[in-house]
Chain A
Amino acid sequence: MTNYKVTGSVMLLAGFMSTAAQAEVVVEWWDFLGGGDGVRMKQLIEEFNAEHAGEISIQATTLEWGVPFYTKVQTSVAVGEAPDIMTYHASRIPLAVSQNVLSEITADDWATMGLGEGDFASATWDAVTIDSAQYAVPLDTHPIVLYYNKELLSAAGVLTDDGVPMGMDSLEGFTETMRALQSNGVKFPLGSVTADGNFMFRTIYSLVGQQGGELITDGEFLTGDNAEKLANALAVLQDWTNEGLQSTYTDYPATVALFTSGEAAMMINGVWEVPTMTDLNAAGNLFEWGAVELPMIFDQRATYADSHSFAIPAGDMDPETRAATLEVMSWMLKNSLFWATAGHIPAYAPVTATAEYAAMEPNATYSPLTANMIFDPKSPLAGVAGPIFDVMSTYFVPTLNGEMDPTEAVEEIIIELNDM
């Protein structure tokens, strides 16, 4: 008799649970945020889930960044096992669209989310647009910036009263700043990821952009004087190596280590390292530091940026899940002020216009660069971890370390780009 009662109440309980589970829409989420920004994203997801308890629940999985992530997305879409939402680099969108991996974000979707073109910087909006259709919702832009050690710069007398490095508006000025650091006993005035050509693409592309150059013109690689502009950019960096102003054959982790240990006074790196510095500094293990827009080495300001955006994989999706997914995207953007603590610049303009954001450091110092951002060329061959990366890397590494002539490197690069 008791047994029946127990069974009955268990069944009743199970009945309640299943109705509760039916009402709550589960949104499956994939991201590639493994570093300090991943920790912050997990916090945002928890907040979202708490706020939407009983309605929407995000089930998040973090995967390996780069080729593994994008290959997995492609295969999962092909077999209909894709997630409902995923993070995507804007620079990878042209390739994704040619592979039919992404579902278009329609005008109705934008209206449902309460977002629109006016909420984003034009370069960012353009980065997720292919043939006047949008394929992703930009969460942030993550440019590269110049990190600097205030104590070392101050000791060498190259820190302005505002606490930023001197000589930021010309090649001569910036080189002088580095020389001053060098003669003041700093081992590497600039820590550069010279062992990783993939990474250096960001810096070099910025320098090409500072001369108004572009990589692809009407489907052709490095046409006209663009080749010369790439050679100029490489030559500047090679000169720094030859003068001993930057670290040679340094890979990514080593560069960060050189900077945080004070062996390198400055470092060009992505804003995603901001949490590393903030956390180290808060723990009392780091000097006073700052981050600013890249120096203007050529005639105009330009900084390479990419955007973490949210995309919906192609394939069938029931209306409830899609609505829930749109709600996730909309919520994340509107709450992206916290995301800025990961260093990234929120793409949603109303957030960056707030007083809280303006008070946030170092973000506020480098945020003006949003006006000078350049994104990857729109081609299935471009984008992070794309085919162009490997070609560039192969010739950047020897050139940056003074083993190959910049002009020769550019000739080789053109041959290989056309051989793809």
Chain B
Amino acid sequence: MLRNTRRETLVALVLIAPFLAIYGLTFVYPTVAMVNLSFTDAPLIGPGQWVGFDNYTRLAGERRFDTAFWNTAYFVALSVIPGTFVAMVIALGVSRLTGRMQALVLALFFLPYILPVSVVYRLWDWTLNFQFGIAMYVFDIWGIERVPIFKTTTWFMPAVAFVTIWWTCGFSILLFLAGLRAIPAEIYEAASLDNTGRWTMFRRITWPLLWPVTALVTTIQLILQLKIFDQVYLFSTGGRPNDNLVLVYYIFQRAFVNNQGGRAAAIAVVLFLIVVIVSVLNFQLMRLAERRK
């Protein structure tokens, strides 16, 4: 049968046109405009003068950029691997349960995930507030000195990472559970016939077969946590904002507090590049690890 390739191309184009139009309007165009903006001294709204690479070169000597960069890296380190690990452990536990019990436990772990960030903030502020937080009364009973958790640089990032893991691990648990259910039961049966220990079973069967899901979860987490903003913003309101800066918070400060759209765009471009590089690297590393198995 003869194929009319021209006609097919035309149909294909017509079919993808709506997507292309929306994608171009809501993603490509703003991205190009942002890159353009980063070379100007524009305020938050309105045009500016072309300043070349000035907005980029001055980032090198900026304290707030430095803080924001390292805090973001620190936060990613504190949340991505530990978050993935916690979710996997919980998923392994939940998968041993059956029926209603499993549904109930799973629902309990998933519950925090559906909360909006403002509620999460309220809950944890209520728990850890220095003067009235319920955890502080527990500290008092145990004779531990009260700690102003969200007001010290030592505790801030670990605490926010902890809250974030508590908040978001429900989703990762679901992914891991799906992964676990996809492993055929026969493999485990065969292994137990061979008298395989639990640890070996995990190391030789579960871990390698779950690897694609693990890779997916870490990648999602990595991209998500590089873009952290809400929790850090809420928990540092009125506290020590400039010590707790992360990259997106710094973009917000430059754009909406300092009214410097151009400089904010430059940071946004840098973050964009970081996310691209890190996720590509992460993906390649994961593939490499898989091949070696």
Q: Is A393 in contact with B240, judged by CB distance below 8 angstroms?
A: yes
| Complex partner residue of A198 from B43, B62, B63, B238, CB under 8 angstroms | B238
22-64 of chain B: CB within 8 A of chain A:
43-46, 62-64
Q: Does B130 contact A (CB under 8 A)?
A: yes
- Chain A interface secondary structure, helix, strand, loop or mixed? helix
Given A249-B130, A254-B131, A397-B151, residue A195 in contact with residue B45 (CB < 8 A): no
Supposing A99-B43, A249-B148 touch, asked if A385 and B240 sit within 8 A by C-beta, the answer is no
B16 within 8 A of A: no
**Complex alpha-carbon distance, A242 and B257, angstroms:** 34
Q: Check A416 against B242 for contact (C-beta < 8 Å).
A: yes
Q: Does residue B239 face the partner (Cβ distance < 8 Å to A)?
A: yes
Evaluate contact between A394 and B63: CB separation under 8 angstroms. no
Q: Is the CB of B63 within 8 A of A415?
A: yes
Inter-chain contacts of A403 with B (CB < 8 A)? 152
Residues of A within 8 A of B239 (CB): 195-197, 393, 397
Cβ contact within 8 Å between A249 and B131: yes
Hey, what's the 0/1 contact readout for B131-161 against A, CB within 8 Å counting as 1?
1100000000000000010011000000000
Could you say which of A70-78, A121-129, A154-162, A209-217 contacts chain B? Answer: A70-78
* Nearest CB of chain B from residue A93's CB, rounded to whole Å: 14
How far apart are B26's CB and chain A's nearest CB, in angstroms?
18
Chain B residues contacting A236 (CB-CB under 8 Å) are none
A71: chain B residues within 8 A (beta carbon): 44, 256
Number of B interface residues in the complex (CB < 8 A): 25
A67 an interface residue at 8 Å Cβ cutoff? yes
Collect the chain B residues with CB atoms within 8 Å of residue A385's CB.
257
- Which residue of A75, A251, A419 is within 8 Å of B45 (Cβ)? A75
CA distance A386 to B129 in the complex (A): 26
Assess A387 versus B258: contact at CB under 8 Å? Given A74-B45, A249-B148, A401-B148: yes
Bound Cα distance from A323 to B130, whole angstroms: 51
- Chain B residues with Cβ under 8 A from A415's Cβ? 63
Residues of B within 8 A of A394 (CB): 240-243
Contact with B along A42-74 (1 / 0, CB 8 A): 000000000000000000000000010001001
Cross-chain contact B240 with A397 (CB below 8 angstroms):
yes
Task: For the complex formed, measure the closest distance between the CB of A153 and the CB atoms of chain B, giving whole angstroms.
Answer: 22
A419 is contacted by which of B46, B63, B151, B238 (Cβ under 8 Å)? B63
Is B253 close to A, CB under 8 A?
A: yes
Q: A257 contacts B63, CB within 8 Å?
A: no
Complex contact A398–B64 (CB within 8 A): no
Would A419 and B240 count as touching, CB distance under 8 A? no
Residue among A247, A254, A385, A397 with most chain B CB within 10 A:
A397
B151 x A401 contact (CB < 8 A) = yes
A-contact 0/1 string along B247-259, CB 8 Å cutoff: 0000001001111
**Which of B151, B241, B259 sits near A195, CB closer than 8 Å?**
B151
- Residues of B contacting A247 with CB < 8 Å? 131
| A390, B132: Cβ atoms closer than 8 Å | no
In A348-383, the 8 Å CB interface with B consists of 380-381
Q: What distance in Å separates the Cβ of A79 from its nearest Cβ neighbour in chain B?
A: 9
Q: Which A149-204 residues sit within 8 Å CB-CB of chain B?
A: 195-199
Chain B nearest Cβ from A81, distance in angstroms: 13
Task: Report if A390-B257 is in contact (Cβ < 8 Å); known contacts: A197-B238, A249-B148.
Answer: yes
Contacts of A67 in B (CB 8 A): 256-257
Within the complex, the shortest CB–CB distance from B33 to chain A, in Å, comes to: 15
Q: How far is the CA of A96 from the CA of B128 in the complex (A)?
A: 38
Q: Is A250 in contact with chain B by the CB < 8 A criterion?
A: yes
A258 cross-chain contacts in B, Cβ below 8 A:
131
A124 to B181: give the CA distance in the assembly, Å.
Answer: 70
Contacting residue for A380 out of B129, B238, B241, B259, CB 8 A: B259
Interface residues, chain B, CB within 8 Å of chain A? 43-46, 62-64, 129-132, 148, 151-152, 238-243, 253, 256-259
Q: Contacts A99-B45, A247-B131, A393-B238 known; list 10 others, CB within 8 Å.
A: A195-B239, A196-B238, A199-B238, A248-B148, A251-B131, A390-B257, A398-B152, A401-B148, A401-B151, A416-B63
